[in-house]
Structure 1
Amino acid sequence: MAGIENNATFWQKLDTILLSSNITIDRPKGTCHFKYKNLIYPVDYGFLTDTLGSDQAPIDIFVGSKESNSVAALAISADVLKKDCEVKLLLGCTEEETLSILEFLNQTEFQKAILIYRGNEIPSWANED
């Protein structure tokens, strides 16, 4: 079985989506989750306007304290209550912020998440855009 191919051109496409969208922060760092008051957002959280994720809502994004124009990682969460999986972008997050996001997404028994960090490999089969 093959592992994840961390294709640099995939990350470039995410950066294009990021740079062609506006970020709306609707849950600033330190605010409570609207449903679960014990969940506190560790960094700013929002969405990319004019985008569409797999849940038919805009693509979610965590925004850390570092200036950045490229997506550093993806958080993929599975939620048994909602019966869905979602992809969330991480932008400008320090290592500490990234770990706090992972802890935030994994603190309930109903939702678990993994991180995929940005890669820079270009597979031999990939075409240059």
Structure 2
Amino acid sequence: MNIPSKYWDFLTRLVTGSEIVIDRPKGSAHPRYPDFVYPLDYGYLKNTRSSDGDEVDVWLGSLNDKNINGIICTADIEDRDVEIKLLLGCTIEEIVMIIDIHNQGTQAAFFIAH
């Protein structure tokens, strides 16, 4: 898939111009699904807006940087929700793990690399 460079430039501007808030740190349980424990830090870009009306979601990997690895496009039939989530500073193994997480149960997803 050929994504225009302008799209990635705009996402980079959103990331670098926003505070990353980690509201679900690595090792914490999901508030609605307590059996799910976050394997990585998960949060959002403060003062942004996504298609669900909340802020833009981010997965923050172990590389400790704000470089965008890509986006994951998700659909959740139970929540009747479609979103994109940014993957920042993730290793290849972490990217695969995130893709797997979003392809379980009522969710389906695909990854677009930057």
TM-score range normalised by the length of the shorter chain: over 0.9
Give the equivalent residue in structure 1 for 2:109: 113
Q: Percent identity?
A: 38
After superposing on structure 2, the runs of 4+ consecutive aligned residues of structure 1 that deviate more than 2 Å are 67-70
The alignment yields a C-alpha RMSD, in angstroms, of 1.1
Q: Does structure 1 residue 59 correspond to structure 2 residue 56?
A: yes
> Greater strand share, 1 or 2?
2
- The structure whose Rg is larger is 1
User: Shift in Å at residue 70 of structure 1?
Assistant: 2.5
| Matched ranges for 1:1-129 at <5 A | 4-108=1-105, 110-118=106-114
Q: Which has the higher contact order (CA 8 A, sep 6+)?
A: 1
Equivalences, count: 114
> Unaligned regions of 5+ residues in structure 2, if any?
none
> Unaligned regions of 5+ residues in structure 1, if any?
119-129
TM-score normalised according to structure 1 size: 0.83
TM-score normalised according to structure 2 size: 0.94
The one-character-per-residue Cα deviations of 1:34-86 (angstroms, maximum 9, x if unpaired) are: 11122221210000001000111100000001132321110111011111101
Alpha-carbon distance in 1 for matches of 2:104, 2:36: 8
Alpha-carbon distance in 2 for matches of 1:59, 1:69: 14
